[in-house]
């Protein structure tokens, strides 16, 4: 049986640049990207999970002076991204097996990409992302708000597996993974490629808590 990651790779190899045209202009994504740039230090290291064609996420982050690495399971998407955003680095990689240095990243983006896995794998990956971030670093996450585990949906003529949670549940899973949820907002989107069926999108900004400061020694008190 084909794995969820392989099914996603095959689908996005086929969809290619059409995905950018259909989903690249989401206002919620743009707003969350702006918030992420505002809280990320200049020159900060950012991992873009499911980087697609590189637009708009890697393009916006690179233009803001951030150092971006994008990963995607689709070789076609990575090839497109390398041409569109030469200032970033893109790799063909699966987030389920990708490894980053603990506390080595200032920010992580996951826009509609933490889908193609079980809920147990999602919990493990969210915890991994929290470890990859430096204390005080941020995760910008967008997802389909849905009660689903590897449920097949039609995306632009292709069948892809999707795992997620309803909008009122997802923040609890971020908290369980070690994040403080800064904001969680929903928006409705009606993509023409879906025959006019409305989607509920969830946009979250979450933070790895800053490192605790040690107790003040009695002799240090004013």
Q: What is the reported pLDDT for 214?
A: 65
pLDDT single digits (tens) 60-98: 999 999 999 999 999 999 999 999 999 999 999 999 999
Spell out the domain ranges in the chain: 4-210
Topology at the third CATH level for domain 4-210 = Rossmann fold (3.40.50)
Gap between the Cα atoms of 215 and 179, Å rounded: 23
Q: How far apart are the first and last CA of the chain?
A: 67
* Residue 95: count of CB within 10 angstroms of its CB: 22
The alpha carbon of residue 82 and the mean position of all alpha carbons in its chain are separated, in whole angstroms, by 19
Q: What is the reported pLDDT for 16?
A: 92
With tokens 């849905």, the residue in question is 146
Gap between the Cα atoms of 18 and 156, Å rounded: 8
Ranges of residues in the chain with a pLDDT under 70 are 1, 192-196, 214-222
Q: What is the reported pLDDT for 141?
A: 98
Q: What is the reported pLDDT for 196?
A: 55
Q: What is the reported pLDDT for 99?
A: 95
What are the start-end ranges of the H helices in the chain? 4-15, 17-23, 27-39, 57-63, 75-84, 119-132, 170-176
């Amino acid at each position: 049986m084909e794995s969820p990651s392989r099914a996603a790779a095959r689908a996005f190899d086929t969809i290619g640049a059409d995905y950018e045209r259909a989903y690249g202009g989401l206002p919620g994504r743009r707003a969350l990207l702006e918030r992420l740039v505002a809280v990320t230090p200049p020159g900060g290291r950012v991992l873009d999970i499911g980087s697609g064609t590189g637009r708009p996420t890697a393009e916006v982050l690179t233009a803001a002076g951030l150092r971006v690495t994008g990963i995607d399971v689709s070789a076609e998407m990575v090839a497109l991204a390398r041409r569109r955003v030469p200032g970033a680095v893109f790799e063909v990689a699966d987030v389920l097996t990708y490894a980053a240095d603990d506390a080595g990243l200032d920010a992580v983006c996951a826009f509609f990409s933490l889908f193609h896995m079980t809920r147990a794998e999602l919990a493990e990956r969210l915890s991994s992302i929290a470890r990859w971030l430096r204390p005080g670093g941020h995760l910008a996450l967008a997802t389909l708000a849905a009660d689903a585990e590897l449920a097949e949906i039609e995306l632009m003529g292709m069948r892809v597996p999707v795992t997620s949670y309803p909008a009122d549940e997802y923040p609890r899973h971020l908290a369980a993974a070690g994040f403080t949820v800064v904001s969680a907002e929903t928006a409705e989107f009606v993509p023409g490629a879906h025959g006019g069926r409305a989607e509920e999108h969830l946009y979250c900004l979450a933070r790895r808590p800053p490192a605790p400061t040690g107790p003040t020694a009695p002799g240090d008190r004013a």
